[in-house]
Amino acid sequence: MARMMRDRLFGKYAMEATITVAEQVTPTMRRIRLETDRPVAFPFTPGQHVRIQLKDPLSVSGILRPGETLRTYTIWDLDAARQAIELRVHLYSGDGIGLRWARAARPGERVTFWWPQGDFFTRDADFHVFIGDETASAAFGPMIRALTGASGVFGVLESETPEHDLPMPGQARLRRVHRRGAPATSSPVLLAAVAELDLPGNAGAAYVAGEAMTCRLVRDFLVRERNWPRTSIKVKPFWTPGKRGLH
Ligand SMILES: Cc1cc2nc3c(=O)[nH]c(=O)nc-3n(C[C@H](O)[C@H](O)[C@H](O)COP(=O)(O)OP(=O)(O)OC[C@H]3O[C@@H](n4cnc5c(N)ncnc54)[C@H](O)[C@@H]3O)c2cc1C
């Protein structure tokens, strides 16, 4: 019975793939390309994520410890033939099953992933504002690439030092700031840069991701100090100290 349920869920929502590229794009950002066994048939909007299966969530040990089964990464790119996805995984200093997987990933290894969920994608707006850390940059890349038309792109991206900046698509006017040892949690560096942001008003769409407490402070700043309507700001906490596997 459990096996039947597992097979049905798996067939509907999961895919098998082989890692074909695993390399550094910055000292702490890993590019991982997964080639799928069959074309990806699921609907996809840039900004959505997959969940990499590190232990079968429907196995006995997976059911006993569900927090140690899946980890969430944004689809950086889905190729035109829909037979490969790329991820950008931040190698932070710490420990977690996702981090261990990304660090050790090598071409030839098999991976199971669970297909996109999430509503972290862009909406129509006069201009767009992207604010976040390295993990957020991995989501903003595909969102910015998908923007069409003349709408402006603004924002602040934080990383450790300039050599840790993830290259972003297009001509996005994104300011880069660097922690240089300062905390990414309630990030003073990112908040100071957001306070200096020169925006064409409050009628745009803002996207805030990364560490949860920083996200909340950024949103509060935009609402209280810049009069942004809360509904114009999409906030997606990606991680926070002590919590495992946010999704
Ligand atoms: C919708 C969504 C999309 C995401 N997309 C991406 C993406 O494209 N690329 C990407 O790199 N990450 C992305 N993340 C973040 C990623 O899922 C988390 O960093 C995740 O916790 C990593 O799993 P782990 O097993 O390494 O650590 P966990 O077991 O989840 O956590 C272990 C410890 O490490 C800490 N930790 C986790 N992540 C970080 C970090 N970045 N910096 C410092 N400490 C950390 C935790 O707070 C915890 O204390 C996304 C998250 C969400 C919710």
- Sorted by where each begins, the domain ranges of the chain are 2-117, 127-239
Name 152's bridge partners: 127
Distances (CA, A) of 10 to 44, 118, 121, 155, 196: 18, 18, 25, 38, 47
Residue identifier of the C-alpha nearest atom 17 of ligand 1: 72
CB 31 within 8 A of CB 23: yes
180-230 confidence digits (pLDDT tens): 999 999 999 999 999 999 999 999 999 999 999 999 999 999 999 999 999
- Output the pTM of the full model: 0.96
Distances (CA, A) of 115 to 53, 168, 178, 237, 242: 11, 24, 33, 19, 26
Q: Is the pLDDT of residue 1 over 60?
A: no
Would you state the CATH architecture of domain 2-117?
Beta Barrel (2.40)
Question: What mean pLDDT, rounded, does the chain reach?
Answer: 93
Helices then strands, each counted (H, E), the chain: 6, 12
Question: Which residues form ligand 1's pocket by a CB distance below 6 Å?
Answer: 49, 71-74, 87-90, 92, 94, 96-99, 118, 120, 135, 138-139, 236, 238-247
Please state which CATH number belongs to domain 127-239. 3.40.50.80
Alpha-carbon distance of 206 to 125, in angstroms, equals: 10
135-187 confidence digits (pLDDT tens): 999 999 999 999 976 679 999 999 999 999 999 987 667 999 999 999 999 99
